[in-house]
Structure 1
Amino acid sequence: DGRIYAVGGVARGRQNTGALEVFDPPRDRWEARAPMAVPRDHHAAGAVDGKLYVVGGRLGGDYGRNLDAHEGYDPAADTWGRRAPLPTARSGIAAAVLGRRLYVFGGEAPSGTFRQVEAYEPEGDRWVTLTPMPTGRHGLAAIAHEGRIHVISGGPRPGGSFSALNEVFTP
């Protein structure tokens, strides 16, 4: 719809927020919309068929408190609804949309980083588990380009680790 959505994170006092704010470029204005039910940080989001989906994350910045939470937002109705939970509770994840699927990559927990790749299909409200990434990592980025998803950077160890990886996922 040409607007930019910012959702969740950490607010003043280091408290999680479920706030949703939407920027309308032609009007050069931000506006508050209905908040998510589950405040969180280190989550990922993507839009499929005009709806916004927010998955995973954690509470209080603690990767020992990872979430499998998954909510869908309908901009026309300004309402949120619960969706099928993320099969693997994790935070520090990346997401990208390709076709009519939301792909979720990586993440972290105290025990290590995740190689998991899972795809959400809104039409059936279901998750599909796919071939894992070659390298597990958190704090990564993902972008769909020409039918493939580039999974970029991220740390191979929990906490403050980094990499220059660019692995390409082809569905």
Structure 2
Amino acid sequence: MADQSSSSSSDPTETHHHDQTLIPALSNDVALQCLARIPRFHHPLLSLVSKSWRSALQSPLFHATRLALNTTQSFLFLNLRLFNPKDSSFSFKWYSLQPCTLDPQITLIPRILIPMNSSPCHLIGASFVSIGRHLYVIGGSVNDIPSPNMWVFDCLTNKWEMGPKMRVGREFAASGVINGKIYVLGGCVVDNWARSINWAEMFDPVTGSWRAIPSPIEVREKWMHASAVVGGRIYAMADRSGVIFDPELGEWSSVSTELDMGWRGRAAVVDEVLYCYDYLGKIRGFDVGENEWKELKGVDKHLPKFLCGATMANVGGRLFVVWEGKGKGKANIEVLCAEILVRKNESGELWGSIVWSDVIILIPKGSSIVHCLDVHLHFKVK
């Protein structure tokens, strides 16, 4: 028999929720099946309904039920560079945002920002991608030396581990995921044969190996300041124009002048439209098919005129924008987030409607937003 004194906080969860009716007129087994079908980001709100619901949501049986349903949910993961005023040091911290969006009219319910385990190392200029439940931190510099390392974070177990190393060290490289494989371009000085032949690499998570991707000499820029995947091709922006790589055809091409002139900073792709934030304070989308930038209309009245440090991600088909606010007092600044439903109307115009917008965390002054991206948590019995 287990020692009850060693696990007093978890025992009520595991033993008592079956003794209370979860949903009137339904057996608890059926009620548990109903609750398990509700998306995970609503769970903080559900736990406020009653003690029996809170106990059920925390039980191993509930988790097993969700696994059996074979569901996939998307979450926003946010990386912040936090300043410590006591010793003027910096640390990098990951958070997961779980918004409550049962009713867009509800504004008093806070969006919960959950801290994740810190990365084992702090890298400047790393690249970030996600595949399923895994988040990849690729390259970056340590003491101004580009690293070939790749760290992998399992978002379900909340654990980091070292992945297979790249063939060359990289910082500020372009990256993207196509057909379950990770592609990295640039971020290295092409000053020898090894770096030249490995300027572009591909990682296959199934085999756990990297391999070089042949690339022409004329595309081998050093720094890549932005990248995105549109229509199964990687778009990588360098200091001088940019390149497009099509893995299926193995072909390289240049980006159009229109795209190069309008792409500023980190971007997100929703329904094959590339969105970014420009210096004029506008969110704009680039329609690859029409080779044209268009302003995202309908959001001006609900967002500030200038979004400091703005970064974006496609989370579950919606555009999430994260930026730095003015903050309160002298010590902290605000990090804000907006969830935007975007669409293209019959005339080809891009329109957006704000689902919600709120402060999600206060951070010390001197801190900054590094990156945000979506992670898909897939619940499936193996």
Q: 1:169 aligns with which of 286, 303, 311?
A: 286
Structure-2 residue corresponding to 1:79: 209
Q: Which moved more, 1:37-46 or 1:143-152?
A: 143-152
> Could you tell me the TM-score, scaled by structure 1's length?
0.74
SS in 1 for 2:248: helix
Q: 2:146 aligns with which of 16, 29, 50?
A: 16
User: Which residue identity lines up with residue 161 of structure 2 in the other structure?
Assistant: E
| Paired residues for 1:1-171 under 5 Å | 1-11=132-142, 13-59=143-189, 69-85=199-215, 87-105=219-237, 107-108=238-239, 114=240, 116-132=241-257, 133=259, 135=261, 140-153=265-278, 166-171=283-288
Offset at 1:76? Answer: 0.9
Offset at 1:167? Answer: 4.6
CA distance in 1, matches of 2:236, 2:285: 14
CA distance in 2, matches of 1:134, 1:19: 30
Q: Which moved more, 1:87-96 or 1:73-82?
A: 87-96
The gaps in structure 1 that reach 5 residues or longer are: 60-65, 109-113, 154-161
User: Which residue identity lines up with residue 223 of structure 2 in the other structure?
Assistant: S
CA distance in 1, matches of 2:261, 2:144: 31
CA distance in 1, matches of 2:244, 2:185: 11
State percent identity of aligned pairs.
24
Structure-2 residue corresponding to 1:111: none
Offset at 1:152? Answer: 3.6
Q: Aligned pair in 2 of structure 1 residues 83, 163: CA closer, same or farther (>3 Å)?
A: farther
CA distance in 2, matches of 1:77, 1:36: 14
> Could you tell me the TM-score, scaled by structure 2's length?
0.35
Higher alpha-carbon Rg: 2
Across the aligned residues of Structure 1 and Structure 2, the Cα RMSD in angstroms comes to 2.7
Aligned residues: 148
Contact 1:57 1:93 in 2 (8 A): no
SS in 1 for 2:152: strand
CA distance in 1, matches of 2:236, 2:203: 18
Structure with more relative contact order (C-alpha pairs < 8 Å, separation 6 or more):
2
CA distance in 2, matches of 1:57, 1:152: 23
The gaps in structure 2 that reach 5 residues or longer are: 1-131, 190-194, 289-382
Q: Aligned pair in 2 of structure 1 residues 25, 128: CA closer, same or farther (>3 Å)?
A: same
